[in-house]
Amino acid sequence: MNIKEQSQDRILFISIIALISFGLFMLFSASWVKSMEITGGESRTFFLVSQMLKLIPAFFIFILLTKINYRRLQFFSPYLLFISFLLLVYTRLQGCDGDSCRWLSIGPISFQTSDIARFSMILFLASYIDNNYKYMQQFVKGIVIPLLVISPIAFMIIIQPDNSTTLILLMIAFTLLFVGGASLIQLATIGVLSVGTIGIFILNEKNYALGRILSFIDPSSSASIGYQSNQALIGLKQGGLTGMGIGESIQKYSYLPETHTDFIFAIIGEEMGFITGSILMLVYYIIFYRAVQISKKSNDIFGIILSIGFGLSITIYAFINIGVVIGIIPVTGVPLPFISYGGSSLIINLMMVAILLNISKAQRKLNVKRWRLRVNA
């Protein structure tokens, strides 16, 4: 296979560096009150320093993935998917923190195993579509087999319980299968059945997700969950068009929980206003747009599907997080990529961007004549 090297996507690279820099800046502003609380007044930078330390291995992995031939990852895709499943099982067996079993702790290091599963699932589907592109219009090989392979991953995530991540992963999976050539009608049918199954699970288990949905419909039905959403909206309203000023947030003074993680966008809106929030959303859109452009310029099926999958993953997480904060989506617990505090999400998202940049600099000749990328339609 011939390879023609070209420059990496500079717009994508600059967008990510800008997001990370802005994220560190806002993380300090959103978290210094919480840092003072947990350190007994000794440090305002606990979360900021912790996040910067997480960036060290993240950037090391990032640089490594921009240098190697991304096609080599295809060989490891089924093994990585299996390892992700084992990690999810071990996370469940390790025990739960309250009502959730999402975090795996190894010594002082903790990470969310569903983030690894998200990366490995996209990698596996890209590899599967690349190897079976001639059969993607068949119901069994194009839909049933790949969904059966990833279903244990989805099952282990939904029993954590983490329904929002399960739905996001299924959304990404169905999109990639459609782009790969699977029938839209068949995918839609399976999709409706899948969502219905998850809905039945939520109703039968009567878990936290049902409470969040009911709270979204009627905020008075749950004081704790409704309180989060209401306080986020109050913060955005106080910020107005241009914000109250950097560091001037009121909500971070223990009024709004999780200001350094899931609800950091509320602090951004409160301190920097609607205009800055809109610019931030534009940056996430640019990331997805560049991912689509990279996929269009690549003639390699594996690279095309990876580009769409990674771009979707980052963008969906971003807009669901923002949707929760502005009150159009029930509370989900999804972080804001590159900005919310957390190591596993940061590392996985940087790995995705590194591979996107890797794909953008390699233009390959496709040895498949009858395969057509649907994003070009």
How confident is the model at residue 95, as a pLDDT?
A: 66
Q: Check: CB of residue 136 under 8 Å from CB of residue 177.
A: yes
State yes or no: pLDDT of 79 exceeds 90.
Answer: yes
Of 280, 362, 375, 376, which Cα lies nearest the Cα of 9?
A: 362
Paired strand residues for 100:
97
Domain, as residue range, for 71: 3-376
Mean per-residue pLDDT, 50-63: 91
Number of folded domains in the chain? Answer: 1
Q: Give mean pLDDT, residues 15-27.
A: 94
Give the pLDDT confidence of 192-212 residue by residue, as tens digits.
777 766 666 655 555 555 555
pLDDT band at 23, cuts 50/70/90?
Answer: very high
> Hey, how many other C-beta atoms are within 10 angstroms of the C-beta on 241?
9
pLDDT at site 368: 43
